[in-house]
C-alpha cells in the first residue's frame, strides 16, 4: 500500500510522473482533518441557520484554500522539475470536480426538502456526508488509477460512459425523483429501527430504552448513495487530466470540502443557473472525448485547463445574463 501511495505507477504517459515525498500524504490528510475539525468545532459547534452572507464568506475561504493548494503542489514537485505541470493538473482536476459538484448541491437541496430537514440541522448532516464522500473518493481514486494503468482499454469504456452521461444530462428533464422510493431507503427502513421525529442533530435517539435511528440518519444514507453515483462520473473525469493519485485526491478533497458552504449559498438559486446543466454536460463530453482519443492523441493538460475555464465562465455568464433578462422582463410586465 505504501508503494501505491508514494508513486502512481511507472506508466504515466503524457501526465506528470512524480514521487510523492514521505511527508506528502500525512500533510494532505492532516490539512483535511484539521479543516474538518475547525469547521465543526469552531464555526459550527452550535446548530444554527446559515445565511447567504455566512455561506458566501465560507465559500470564499474554501475556494481560496483550494486554489492556494495549487501553489503547495507546485512547490512540492518543483525539485523534480514538474512543479508547474503538477499544479496545472491539480487546478484542472479541482475545477472539473467543483463544476460537477454543483449538480450534487441541487440534489442535496431536493433531498433536504423532501425529508423536511430543518435548516439548522443540515450542516451537521452534510459534515458527515462530506466525511463519507472523502473516504469513498480516496478508495475510488486509488483503485481507478491502478486499474487504468493495468488495463488501458478501460479508458475507452470510461470515455464512452462520460460522453453518454454528458448527452443524457443535456437532454434530461428537470423532474426530481422521490428519495423515499430508492431501493436503498426501502432496505434501510426494513432493517434499521427508526422513528419519524427529529431529535435535534442526533442520528440516533432513545425511546423506551431502545436505541433508534432518527430521520437524519436516513437523509445521510441518501446523501452518501447520491455521492457514490456522482463519483462514478467525477472520478473518471478527473483521471482524464491526471494519473497521480496524490494530485487527483487532493483536487477532489479540496473541491468537496467547500460543498457545504456552496450548498447554503446556491441551494435556493437553481433557477438562476439555468445553463449549468448544459455546462456540466459539455465538460463531461469534453473529458470523455479526451479519454477516447488519448491512445492516438494527447490533449495537453494546459489546453484542457483553458477549455474547462472557458466552458465554466461561459456557462456562468450565460446563466447570469438569462436571469437578468427574465427579471427585467418581469419588471416591465409589472410596470404595465
DSSP assignment of 278-313:
HHHHHHHHHHHHHHHTTTT-PPPHHHHHHHHHHHHH
Q: Give the cell for residue 318.
A: 450565460
Model confidence at 1: pLDDT above 50:
no
Provide the number of structural domains found in the chain: 1
Specify if 270 maps to a domain.
yes
- What pLDDT is stored for residue 285 in this prediction? 82
Cα(133)–Cα(195) distance, integer angstroms: 26
Cα(290)–Cα(23) distance, integer angstroms: 33
- What pLDDT is stored for residue 197 in this prediction? 76
Average pLDDT over residues 56-76: 90
What per-residue string of b and e applies to 201-214 under the rule 16 or more CB within 10 Å gives b?
bebebeeeeeeebb
Specify if 330 maps to a domain.
no
Specify if 332 maps to a domain.
no
Specify if 331 maps to a domain.
no
Q: 246-278: per-residue pLDDT in tens?
A: 998 999 899 888 887 777 777 656 666 677 777
Cα(323)–Cα(269) distance, integer angstroms: 10
- ∠ CA 282-302-83, nearest 5°, is 135
Specify if 98 maps to a domain.
yes
Sequence length of the chain is 336
Cα(205)–Cα(214) distance, integer angstroms: 7
Confidence label for 42 from pLDDT (cuts 50, 70 and 90): low
Is the pTM above the cut of 0.75? Answer: no
Specify if 333 maps to a domain.
no
Q: Which domain holds residue 121?
A: 2-325
Q: Phi and psi at residue 27, in whole multiples of 5°?
A: -65, -45
Specify if 169 maps to a domain.
yes
Specify if 268 maps to a domain.
yes
Q: Give the Å distances, CA to CA, from 115 to 198, 222, 284.
A: 11, 10, 30
Residues 6+ apart with CB under 8 A from 78: 84
Amino acid at each position: 500500500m505504501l508503494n501505491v501511495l508514494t508513486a502512481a505507477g511507472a506508466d504515466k504517459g503524457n501526465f506528470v510522473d512524480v514521487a510523492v515525498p514521505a511527508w506528502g500524504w500525512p500533510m494532505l490528510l492532516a490539512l483535511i482533518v484539521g479543516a474538518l475539525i475547525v469547521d465543526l468545532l469552531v464555526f459550527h459547534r452550535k446548530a444554527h441557520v446559515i445565511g447567504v452572507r455566512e455561506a458566501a464568506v465560507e465559500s470564499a475561504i474554501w475556494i481560496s484554500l483550494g486554489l492556494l493548494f495549487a501553489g503547495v503542489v507546485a512547490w512540492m514537485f518543483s525539485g523534480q522539475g514538474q512543479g508547474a505541470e503538477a499544479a496545472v493538473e491539480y487546478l484542472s482536476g479541482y475545477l472539473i470536480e467543483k463544476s460537477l459538484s454543483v449538480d450534487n448541491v441541487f440534489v442535496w437541496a431536493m433531498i433536504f426538502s423532501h425529508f423536511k430537514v430543518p435548516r439548522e440541522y443540515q450542516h451537521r448532516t452534510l459534515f458527515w456526508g462530506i466525511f463519507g464522500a472523502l473516504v469513498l473518493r480516496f478508495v475510488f481514486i486509488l483503485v481507478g488509477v491502478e486499474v487504468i494503468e493495468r488495463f488501458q482499454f478501460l479508458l475507452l469504456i470510461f470515455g464512452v460512459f462520460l460522453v453518454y452521461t454528458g448527452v443524457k444530462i443535456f437532454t434530461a428533464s428537470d423532474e426530481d425523483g422521490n428519495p423515499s422510493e430508492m431501493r436503498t431507503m426501502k432496505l434501510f427502513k426494513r432493517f434499521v429501527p427508526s422513528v419519524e421525529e427529529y431529535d435535534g442533530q442526533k442520528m440516533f435517539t432513545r425511546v423506551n430504552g431502545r436505541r433508534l435511528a432518527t430521520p437524519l440518519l436516513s437523509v445521510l444514507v441518501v446523501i452518501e448513495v447520491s455521492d457514490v453515483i456522482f463519483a462514478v462520473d467525477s472520478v473518471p473525469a478527473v483521471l482524464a487530466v491526471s494519473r497521480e493519485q496524490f494530485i487527483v485526491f487532493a483536487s477532489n478533497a479540496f473541491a468537496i470540502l467547500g460543498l457545504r458552504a456552496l450548498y447554503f449559498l446556491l441551494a435556493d438559486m437553481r433557477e438562476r443557473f439555468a445553463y449549468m446543466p448544459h455546462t456540466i454536460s459539455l465538460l463531461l463530453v469534453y473529458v470523455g472525448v479526451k479519454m477516447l482519443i488519448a491512445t492516438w492523441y494527447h490533449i495537453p493538460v494546459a489546453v484542457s485547463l483553458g477549455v474547462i475555464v472557458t466552458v465554466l465562465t461561459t456557462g456562468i455568464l450565460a446563466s447570469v445574463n438569462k436571469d437578468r433578462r427574465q427579471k427585467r422582463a418581469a419588471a416591465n410586465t409589472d410596470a404595465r
